[in-house]
A and B are shown apart, each in its own frame.
Chain A
Amino acid sequence: MKIALVGNPNSGKTTLFNDLTGSKQFVGNWPGVTVEKKEGQIKNYKDVTIVDLPGIYSLSPYTLEEVISREYLINEKPDLIINIIDGSNMERNLYLTTQVLELGIPTVVACNMMDVVEKNQISIDLNGLSKELGVKILPISASKVEGIDLLIEEVVKENNKPSKELDVYSKDVLDSITKIENIISKETNEFLRFKAIKLFEKDEKIMVGFDKKEILKLVDNFEEKFDDDTESVITTQRYEFITNTLKKYIKKNSKQILHTSDKIDRVVTNRFLALPIFILVMGIVYYVSVTTIGEFVTDWTNEVLFGEIIPPLVTTFLENINASPVLISLIVDGIIAGVGAVLGFVPQMLVLFTFLAILEDCGYMARIAFIMDRIFRKFGLSGKSFIPMMIGTGCSVPAIMASRTIENERDRRMTITTTSFMPCGAKLPVIALIAGALFNNSGWVSNSAYFVGIFSIIASGIILKKTKRFSGDPAPFVMELPAYHLPNIKNVFRSVYERGSSFIKRAGTVILLATIIIWFLSNFGFTEGSFGMVEDLNTSILAALGNIFAPLFAPLGWGQWKATVATVAGLVAKEAVVGTLGVLYGMAEVSEEGVEIWSQLALDFTALSAYSFLLFNLLCAPCFATMGAIKREMNNTGWTIFAISYQTIFAYTISLIFYQIGLFVTTGAFGFWTIVAIALILIYLYLLFRPEPSKKYKTNVNYN
């Protein structure tokens, strides 16, 4: 038996899903999109599976979540739908119910938050409502796990029938719907009523395969006759039906009680206090997850656990069993380093995800979007993009994973693409190296790195939102501000666990593989005419590749193989740029900021080329761990490649412009590359200031 769980966002759907399934869950993504898909088994019923559909307000064809839900219901034909509704917000929740019932799939309604309803002194006659709607309605409280057993008993019965036809529409509308039913009954006999109503609303996605002309003629006649569009007519009549029905079954004791949630919001989104409170909350999140616990635990995992504890232990063990040096190197420098690169990010991620889960669960996350929307929407981002950007100054990996909280897929993809422009903690040693070697340790170098990061995000946002890839979905900002409530500890833990484990599983493989490849390239090479393991990085394949690719970076001012190799090594982890340069300049080991090679570096670089090198390393494809996170969150190869290529091309062109124009201004040197730089500037100006292509109100939600 297959059950689909349908309901509004914030209706307690996730909590109910957890209650119903216990620990028997599988979390993944809907194919090709960034939307999460959860499946599970009903507790104690092995053969009953339940799919948690995305939270939706309607079965309209406009958002990705709605399309996914609709297509699942129509194509997979579940045996039963559990429709969860929020009892303290019946009007809007039943709006979806009226659409679900039209599908003709047997449905059981779970009326949640009955404890809140009681507390607010509202009485709902669920029996009466159930009779009127012709569907079973069971009271539950998902967060207190009340009424769940009765609900399970009801849904596994397998004798639930589709509800009767509801008396929602006026006679004229009903006539038109019947006519459409007759037209399409030639082609199909499935979901006839549902499809006819959607066709009456001129739903393009359902229109495919039917006699479009005849249907549209009928609809146009109706619209002309009643001087209103059919979508409005249907929506209005649905809501009128609900309002009139609820009048009979809901009694509110006192009309004007100010709920706790409203009281909280009077302070939290208050004109004067909202921003200070926001800064305070963000400050706490940042301080704990990035600077204190996060950094301490991450450093410990990276440097102590995977630096001082595990590698020597394993090395000694392998030496004792007489393993070959190649194998030892592969295991210690390749595999363990790779596993360390994956696991090193986990502790910090868990701390951050705990905060995010609490902020989401208690309702503050929606307020963040409310407060920050004004600023971020200008760059094609969501107000909720603030958190990934902020966390990105610590580490891009959890930052990109944090984009999951953004409600709109386009904003989510934009945030994933631009977040790693923020200078993360691992880039600081590179900044310090360049500042120390060529700029007299001047503070403006690191300040400018943050400025460059913010500028790149803003510029990219403006450029990308005008491109075809990101246009299409107009992304209306019409957002519910859910009532505040105490976060549910179980939900928080589950969410943290799921995000953490999905990073390890789905991003981990990429990171591990990439680390091993770089290990191979830097440890093997040709010496004395034979191929084998090399002691000296200078004779490795990586160095040879550096020599081949170095000319590529000549227009950027640093076409030297050492800088090229260091940049490639930076893909493993950005701070590796410093260490690699140290080795290449003949030092066995350098300090974090590479003080030992400052003087040598100053000989090979000019101020211009050094800063250009820094720019490229700040903006180009991030480390493998971040790429893994990008892949995990995009859940789409095309988009992953797009994001990483965009970052690299952006980094290359910006560095080129900076170096060539800088060279021209300081020395007057004018050549081919100066012209290229000027051309690039013109292209960027065009991309930034061209008018936004007229938005067609069509959604880009074909998710294949």
Chain B
Amino acid sequence: MKTLNEVKIGDSAKVIKLHGEGATKRRIMDMGITKGTDIKVIKVAPLGDPLELNVRGYSLSIRKSDASLIEVE
């Protein structure tokens, strides 16, 4: 299983499934990361975490630990 935190910087990936539950998962989905969405990993913060993503045409920042709950192709 490949997760979003394993995607190389500059690469894109398609979301297959979201793991986890509750507030964090819902928040991630509310922000537009749903099944079938294409996500581009733009960069990682200078201290190594969090990540900056491009989702549905805007910039979103999430922690690596949360990114590991997002299964991608």
Residues of A in contact with B (beta carbons under 8 Å apart): 57-58, 60, 62-63, 89, 91-92, 95, 229, 231-232, 235-236, 239-240, 265, 269-272, 274-275, 366, 369-375, 377, 473-474, 476-483, 697-699
Contacts and interface: CB of A to CB of B under 8 A. Distances in A.
A478 B52 CA distance: 10
Nearest to B49: A374
A89 B23 contact: no
A481 B59 contact: yes
Interface string B35-70: 111000001111111101001111111110010000
Contacts of A272: 46
Contact of A480 (B36, B46, B50, B60): B60
B72 interface: no
B46 A239 contact: no
Contacts of A476: 23-24, 27-28, 66
B27 A478 contact: yes
B34 interface: yes
Contact of A478 (B22, B31, B43, B45): B31
Interface size on B, as a range, is: 35 or more
B26 A92 contact: no
Given A89-B58, A92-B58, 14 more contacts: A58-B30, A62-B22, A235-B30, A236-B35, A239-B56, A373-B63, A377-B63, A476-B66, A478-B28, A481-B52, A483-B59, A697-B21, A698-B22, A699-B23
A662 to B, nearest CB: 37
11 contacts: A63-B23, A89-B56, A89-B58, A231-B29, A232-B18, A235-B34, A239-B56, A476-B27, A478-B61, A483-B58, A697-B21
B14 to A, nearest CB: 13
B30 A474 contact: no
Given A92-B31, A239-B37, A370-B52, A477 B22 contact: no
Contact of A479 (B37, B46, B47, B61): B61
A60 B30 contact: yes
Contact of B59 (A377, A478, A480): A480
A57 B31 contact: yes
Contact of B26 (A231, A239, A480, A481): A231
A477 B61 contact: yes
Contacts of B47: 371-372, 374-375
A274 B23 contact: no
A671 B45 CA distance: 52
B69 to A, nearest CB: 10
Contact of A474 (B22, B46, B58): B22
Contact of A269 (B45, B58, B60): B45
Contacts of B36: 236, 240
A274 B18 CA distance: 31
A60 B57 CA distance: 22
Nearest to B33: A478
A403 to B, nearest CB: 20
B48 A374 contact: yes
| B interface: dominant SS | mixed
Nearest to A89: B58
A373 B24 contact: no
Contact of A60 (B26, B46, B55, B60): B26
Contacts of B24: 474, 476, 478, 697
Nearest to B43: A269
B20 to A, nearest CB: 9
A482 B59 CA distance: 7
B12 to A, nearest CB: 13
Given A232-B18, A479-B60, A239 B34 contact: yes
A418 to B, nearest CB: 21
B50 A62 contact: no
B29 to A, nearest CB: 4
Given A92-B31, A235-B34, A476-B66, A374 B45 contact: yes
Contacts of A269: 43, 45-46, 52
A374 B37 CA distance: 27
Given A236-B35, A236-B36, A370-B45, A480 B58 contact: yes
Contact of B56 (A92, A265, A473, A482): A92
B29 A232 contact: yes
B24 to A, nearest CB: 4
A239 B38 CA distance: 13
Given A479-B60, A480-B58, A232 B34 contact: yes
Nearest to A66: B30
Contacts of A377: 63
Contacts of A58: 26, 30
A392 to B, nearest CB: 22
A474 B23 contact: yes
A373 B61 CA distance: 11
B34 A371 contact: no
Given A92-B31, A477-B66, A478-B62, A697 B48 contact: no
A169 to B, nearest CB: 14
B59 A271 contact: no
A95 B45 contact: no
A43 to B, nearest CB: 31
Contacts of A271: 43-44, 46
A481 B55 CA distance: 11
A479 to B, nearest CB: 5
A476 B49 CA distance: 14
A89 B55 CA distance: 10
Nearest to B50: A373
A235 B33 CA distance: 9
B27 A62 contact: yes
Contacts of A479: 60-62
Nearest to B34: A236
Contacts of B58: 89, 92, 480, 483
Nearest to A234: B29
B60 A275 contact: no
A63 B47 CA distance: 27
B31 A477 contact: no
A478 B60 contact: yes
A518 to B, nearest CB: 45
Contacts of A91: 32, 56-57
A659 B23 CA distance: 45
Contacts of A366: 61
Contact of A62 (B23, B32, B55, B66): B23
